Amino acid sequence: MVGRSSEPGTAGDIGVPSPSSSVAPEPDCPPPVRATAGLGVWLRDLVISLAISAFIIVFLYQPVKVEGTSMMPSLEDQERIFVNKFVYRLEPIERGDIVVFRYPYDPSKSYIKRVIAMAGDHIRIESGQVYVNGEALIETYVPAEYADRRSYPDTVVPENDYFVLGDHRSMSDDSRRFGPVNQSFIYGKAVFGYWPMEKVGRVK
């Protein structure tokens, strides 16, 4: 045992074990952690995180800001939402989807509207009431105060096109003016609101 012996002059006095002593080997000490190694790990994690975020934004989800009131009350001016840019590679566009598309008259601009009718559908609007294939459409997302009295003649939606309207009918520039939107212009589906906090949740 290492330490002071009870008898002076023995090897134990100076901390050197005598031949009869047994000494437990010291555990291996881990090498000191260098600051540069920690910085390298941090930078690696940062690069990986940025790469994953870039992949999500470019290929899957894109945060966008709603500008204007044409989709109230579903979406308000300056509301922030996520748009799924990949979903329509896996599933078809459906009636009721809120889609983001390039404005047909100026593709540098993006619009957001609701799909009301699809290719092959007959659509007409009589004093604000929408009819699809002869049946009146029940639109719970259009409160009475946002409705209008505009009409639109009976039209068959062309192949690969979609007839889109804003929920705020009296304030919306939509297919009633620029006609059905071709699928090639549609690049995403509004799926989730994240700001303001009271609007956090799935977009309906």
Rg (the chain; Cα; Å): 34
Query: In this structure, are residues 98 and 74 in contact, taking their beta carbons and an 8 Å threshold?
Result: yes
Q: Residue range 84-92: average pLDDT?
A: 94
31 located within any domain:
no
Task: Examine the residue annotation and report whether 74 is marked as an active-site residue of this protein.
Answer: no
Task: Specify which residues 126 forms β-bridges with.
Answer: 129
12 located within any domain:
no
Looking at residue 28, its pLDDT comes to 56
> pLDDT per residue over 95-125, tens digit each?
999 999 999 999 999 999 999 999 999 999 9
Between CA 164 and CA 155 the distance in angstroms is 13
117 located within any domain:
yes
Which residue among the candidates 70, 74, 172, 175 is catalytic per the annotation? 70
Lookup result for tokens 């590679």: 89
Going by C-alpha positions, the residue among 159, 157, 152, 75 that lies closest to residue 111 is 75
34 located within any domain:
no
Looking at residue 197, its pLDDT comes to 93
* Residue 135 structural domain: 63-202
Quickly state the pLDDT bin for 12 (edges 50, 70, 90). Answer: very low
Task: Examine the residue annotation and report whether 5 is marked as an active-site residue of this protein.
Answer: no
Quickly state the pLDDT bin for 21 (edges 50, 70, 90). Answer: very low
Q: Residue range 30-36: average pLDDT?
A: 54
- Total count of domains within the chain: 1
10 located within any domain:
no
Q: What is the largest CA-CA distance in the chain?
A: 116
23 located within any domain:
no
Going by C-alpha positions, the residue among 157, 112, 104, 160 that lies closest to residue 131 is 157
92 located within any domain:
yes
CATH number at residue 99: 2.10.109.10
CA distance from start to end of the chain: 77
Q: Which residues contact 158 (CB under 8 A, 6 or more apart)?
A: 119, 180
48 located within any domain:
no
Q: What is the pTM of this model?
A: 0.73
> pLDDT per residue over 39-77, tens digit each?
877 787 777 776 666 655 555 789 999 999 999 999 999
3-state secondary structure (DSSP) of residue 100: strand
Q: What is the DSSP letter of 37?
A: H
Which residue among the candidates 74, 85, 113, 189 is catalytic per the annotation? 113
